[in-house]
Amino acid sequence: MSHEGIRFVSKKEQARESLEDRPLPRIAVTPDKVRVKLTEGTGLEIDWQDGHRSAWSFAWLRDACPCATCVDERKAQGRKTGQSKAKSAALLPMYTPPPKPASAHGVGRYAIQFNWLDGHSGGIYSWDYLRRHCQCPECTFESAESGCTPN
């Protein structure tokens, strides 16, 4: 993939994969401020050193858990990162509260880890992983078009 300006018009997924492998600039994956909205229960917000602001809901983060178990489960079910399980109301009639962490803490200088209320805590969310899955309208629009391209 060393060709400049190569385009996969009919192979979007492939193009996106090559973009996801591309290393990001350090300032794009170094948080300036990290806010975990535990009290509000809304989600995670990060201001990056390149000036970009990202936000993820806890529900998205739970369904994007990067631990091996969750990655395998998503693969087996054909779910994308952050995509929730299909609602199987018939099988599970009881109310399940939206995912929320009981606490969160930094892992070294490169990641954050959540202790989810459902008891799960195996996922280590690196800054790089989070930035590549930025859920702000700008990035989700760009990634739907041609892959996320942080400036």
Query: Binding residues for Zn ion, per CB under 5 A?
Result: 65, 67, 70, 122-123, 134, 136, 139
Cβ nearer to Zn ion, comparing 1 with 69: 69
Burial class of residue 4 in the structure, from the number of CB atoms within 10 Å of its CB (0-12 exposed, 13-18 middle, 19+ buried)? exposed
Q: Which residues pair with 104 in a beta bridge?
A: 114
Minimum CB separation from Zn ion for residue 90, in Å? 26
Cβ nearer to Zn ion, comparing 11 with 72: 72
| Dist CA 89 CA 102 (whole Å) | 26
Minimum CB separation from Zn ion for residue 2, in Å? 27
Cβ nearer to Zn ion, comparing 29 with 139: 139
Minimum CB separation from Zn ion for residue 151, in Å? 10
| Dist CA 95 CA 54 (whole Å) | 30
